[in-house]
């Protein structure tokens, strides 16, 4: 049995990721994988060991690519707080065929496997924590640049941002009217921008 080339392996992982993301771990059958990957059962097990391991590999792929996109977005932003706010606005701009117009794969996998596949569930929970840590790092950078008060709780703000992202993705998953999704994204983004300290008027500064 020949091993798949690197290209074939990457293509198979991409196909499996879309399948697990769409159907969930338990609802994805070996027949589904055979069809999506265009591989026989023996080849699938030879290349990926087990369905569970294949799911873990696709979850890792999803996490790493999502985190890389977020970090690239933040690096290009004019400031950390602007980047975090525009991250929310970005969900309203997703194309109709974009896979991200559904619930996060990590979140969906955690819900699907929480009581039935502990290793997969634990990995998904860890990835969600790492996403939240990346958000917290963004808020810490905003603090360092004076966009947030020195006593701002970055961990708490990161948890709030993660909840906002989940809410937007749920609305996209439900097929909510694009105008309503856009309005919600703008409301949430403006709430992030409103965290900036209010400048003290010159007259008040002189009286202090």
* Dist CA 145 CA 199 (whole Å): 15
Averaged pLDDT score across all residues of the chain: 92
If pLDDT is split at 50, 70 and 90, which confidence band does 1 have? very low
Percent of the chain at pLDDT above 90?
A: 87
Q: Nearest to residue 57, comparing CAs of 146, 119, 131?
A: 119
Determine the pLDDT at residue 8: 83
Domains of the chain: 59-197 (1.10.357.10)
Determine the pLDDT at residue 66: 96
* Rounded (10°) CA dihedral 62, 88, 159, 145: 110
Q: Which residue has the tokens 């809410």?
A: 167
Under 8 Å between Cβ of 206 and 128: no
Determine the pLDDT at residue 2: 54
161-172 pLDDT, tens digit per residue, is 999 999 999 999
Under 8 Å between Cβ of 166 and 104: yes
114-149 pLDDT, tens digit per residue, is 999 999 999 999 999 999 999 999 999 999 999 999
9 vs 176, residue with greater confidence: 176
Residue 200 has pLDDT above 60, yes or no: no
Percent of the chain at pLDDT above 70?
A: 92
6-46 pLDDT, tens digit per residue, is 668 899 999 999 999 999 999 999 999 999 999 999 999 99
Determine the pLDDT at residue 198: 75
* Dist CA 15 CA 55 (whole Å): 11
Residue 84: alpha-carbon gap to chain centroid = 13
In this structure, what DSSP letter does residue 49 have?
Answer: S
Q: What average pLDDT score do residues 85-91 get?
A: 97
* Dist CA 150 CA 198 (whole Å): 13
Q: Helix crossing, 154-174 with 178-193: angle to 10°?
A: 170
pTM: 0.90
Q: What is the DSSP string of 81-125?
A: HHHHHHHHHHHHT--TT-TTSSS-HHHHHHHHHTTT-HHHHHHHH
- Total Cβ atoms within 10 A of residue 165: 20
CA dihedral (121, 28, 170, 81) positive or negative = positive
Residue 155 has pLDDT above 80, yes or no: yes
Which token pair is 109? 């996998």
Q: What average pLDDT score do residues 42-63 get?
A: 95
Determine the pLDDT at residue 3: 60
């Amino acid at each position: 049995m020949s091993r798949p080339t690197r290209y074939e392996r990457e293509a198979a992982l991409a196909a499996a990721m879309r399948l697990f993301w769409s159907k969930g771990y338990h609802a994805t059958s070996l027949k589904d994988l055979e069809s999506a990957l265009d591989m026989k059962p023996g080849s699938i097990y030879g290349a990926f060991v087990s369905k569970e391991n294949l799911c873990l590999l696709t979850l890792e792929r999803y996490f790493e690519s999502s985190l890389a996109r977020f970090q690239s977005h933040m690096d290009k932003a004019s400031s950390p707080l602007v980047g975090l706010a525009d991250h929310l606005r970005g969900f309203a701009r997703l194309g109709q065929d974009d896979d991200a117009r559904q619930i996060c794969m990590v979140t969906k996998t955690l819900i699907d496997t929480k009581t039935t596949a502990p290793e997969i569930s634990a990995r998904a929970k860890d990835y969600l924590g790492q996403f939240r840590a990346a958000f917290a790092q963004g808020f810490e950078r905003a603090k360092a640049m004076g966009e947030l008060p020195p006593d701002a709780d970055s961990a708490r703000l990161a948890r709030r941002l993660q909840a906002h992202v989940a809410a937007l993705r749920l609305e996209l998953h439900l097929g909510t009217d694009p105008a309503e999704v856009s309005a919600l994204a703008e409301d949430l983004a403006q709430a992030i921008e409103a965290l900036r300290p209010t400048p003290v008027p010159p007259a008040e500064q002189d009286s202090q």
